[in-house]
């Protein structure tokens, strides 16, 4: 698959270059793309929170494997229905909006 610059993330049509970097050709495609992310994210959220905060139960249930299977199913759907176009935001964009995710917490030990 060839990655094209200046293409709508939803339909893949060419976007006219302009002063602002656009990701979608119309508001309807932006809504459809974000709605799919919301629907998919809800399932991942519940599974990941169980994996993180109910660890023994989640491990016994194979939750991390379920998370990976779900992501693989999403990608297979992208390939089949969306001509392989990605359905997620770029990592540098997400982390750029949330710099605290890259920070490291230091714990101070008191009274050894």
Taking only the tens place, the pLDDT of each residue in 6-34 is: 889 999 999 987 767 788 999 999 999 99
CA atoms of 18 and 68, how far apart (whole Å): 38
**Mean pLDDT taken over the chain:** 89
* pTM score of the predicted model: 0.75
CA atoms of 61 and 26, how far apart (whole Å): 42
**Nearest to 86, CA basis, from 25, 19, 42, 23:** 23
Query: Are 24 and 30 a contacting pair, CB within 8 Å?
Result: yes
How many Cα atoms within 13 Å fall on the side-chain side of residue 24?
12
Q: 């990608």: which residue's tokens?
A: 75
């Amino acid at each position: 698959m060839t990655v094209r610059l200046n293409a709508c993330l939803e339909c893949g049509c060419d976007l006219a270059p302009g002063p602002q970097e656009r990701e979608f050709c119309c508001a309807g495609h932006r809504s459809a793309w974000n709605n799919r992310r919301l629907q998919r994210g809800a399932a991942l959220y519940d599974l990941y929170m169980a994996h993180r905060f109910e660890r023994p139960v989640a491990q016994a249930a194979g939750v991390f494997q379920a998370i990976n299977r779900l992501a693989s199913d999403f990608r297979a759907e992208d390939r089949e229905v969306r001509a392989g176009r990605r359905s997620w935001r770029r990592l540098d964009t997400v982390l750029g909006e949330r710099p605290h995710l890259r920070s490291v917490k230091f714990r101070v030990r008191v009274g050894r």
